[in-house]
Structure 1
Amino acid sequence: MSTPFGTPSPDAAVYVISVAAELTGLHPQTLRAYERMGLIQPGRTGGGGRRYSHRDLERLREIADLTSAGVGVEGVRRIMDLELQVDALRARNEELLAELDAVRRAVAARATTSASANKLPVLHTSAGQSVVVWRRPG
């Protein structure tokens, strides 16, 4: 998989272990150890050779930074798991904000086109970006 300009995507496993080691400043044995510990999972060629992606290199640098700061392997694993959770929550938050925006637009459009019906929800917003939807009885 590549970008429109022919450069590999961040997830394309293209770097052999010696290049990955050089680019991260780590020894190839350290990369193998991180893999055995389950901290990194490089891609594999048909013959079993390891291939690292740009994203793998970033992860290796982060692992190296954490371990050099005195964080143990289990701490590194926990930090990285929490970072994945934060990323997932951010993505979900963006989805919910987009959905809320769509609802706001739909309610506003209905209110302007069907003001006489009085059966549509009434949208009240406050300065703090909160939305309260009141439904009229009936």
Structure 2
Amino acid sequence: SVVTEMTGLGAHTLRGYERAGLLQPARTAGGMRLYSPRDVAIVRRAAALAAEGINVTGIRRILQLEAEVALIRAEFDGVPQPVVAASAERGASGTG
């Protein structure tokens, strides 16, 4: 009920997102769902995409692509700048 209040979404919608594989909340021994801050962020992003008219399949794909971009950015941020600059120069000159 806390997540429904935080996001403005009903429990039915949250269960639907879970069934669609968008999130996998942890569970207590009694079966109660425990949503992490990451789960709440995913729910909010999914709701925003749904509000734009995107179906669950599209939402799933967009979330996957956004996660991939975040990983690539994190990897790129770890590359020393001289290596990045040299790589960009090779790409611009067409010899890379």
Matched, 1:27 2:10: yes
2:45 corresponds to which letter in structure 1? E
Q: Which runs of 5+ in 2 are unaligned?
A: 90-96
| Residue 95 (structure 1) shift | 2.0
Partner Cα distance (1:40, 1:24) in 2: 15
What is the identity percentage for the equivalent residue pairs of Structure 1 and Structure 2?
44
Larger radius of gyration: 1
Matched positions, count: 88
Q: 2:25 aligns with which of 16, 37, 42?
A: 42
> Which of 1 and 2 has higher RCO (CA within 8 Å, sep 6+)?
2
Partner Cα distance (1:64, 1:29) in 2: 13
Higher helix share: 2
Q: 2:39 aligns with which of 24, 48, 56?
A: 56
- Normalization by structure 1: what TM-score? 0.58
Instruction: Give the 3-state SS of the residue equivalent to 2:12 in structure 1.
Output: helix
Matched, 1:130 2:82: no
Q: For residues 34-113 of structure 1, what are the structure 2 equivalents within 5 Å?
A: 34-97=17-80, 100=83
Runs of 4+ in 1 over 3 A off after TM superposition: 98-101, 129-132
Instruction: Give the 3-state SS of the residue equivalent to 1:96 in structure 2.
Output: coil
Higher strand share: 1
